[in-house]
Structure 1
């Protein structure tokens, strides 16, 4: 498709509000989704680390030296 000028391109033949509004809304929702996913990941990692510390403090469970089953290291701690 060819446009006479940049203003004609940005106007989109009178449908600029629909076209650019849909692009703007799509990008805004994608950015919001990214923020929510990263926040959820951070919360999940925090909860898993807290759980791992709590399990490690149980009697002899986390120590192979004491005869317990060793707890494997998490990737974020290595």
Structure 2
């Protein structure tokens, strides 16, 4: 079983987390998963919006304590393929 890719974005602030997530997802294959770790409060809003807009799946998230954790699955985005 393949492990998730972990992207540690702790210490980075908007817009850097979203830009780095997008860059990483572009290099991934469809249905691959990525675990994002961040402490930027704006990601609580930005990551779900980004996933919806770019057609990626937000599988799970934990935003009660820092670092926040988001599990994303790359979707089929015709703009990035």
When normalised by structure 1's length, the TM-score is 0.28
When normalised by structure 2's length, the TM-score is 0.28
Give 1 or 2 for the bigger CA radius of gyration. Answer: 1
Which structure carries more helix by proportion?
1
Which structure would you say has the larger RCO, counting Cα contacts within 8 Å and 6 or more residues apart? 2
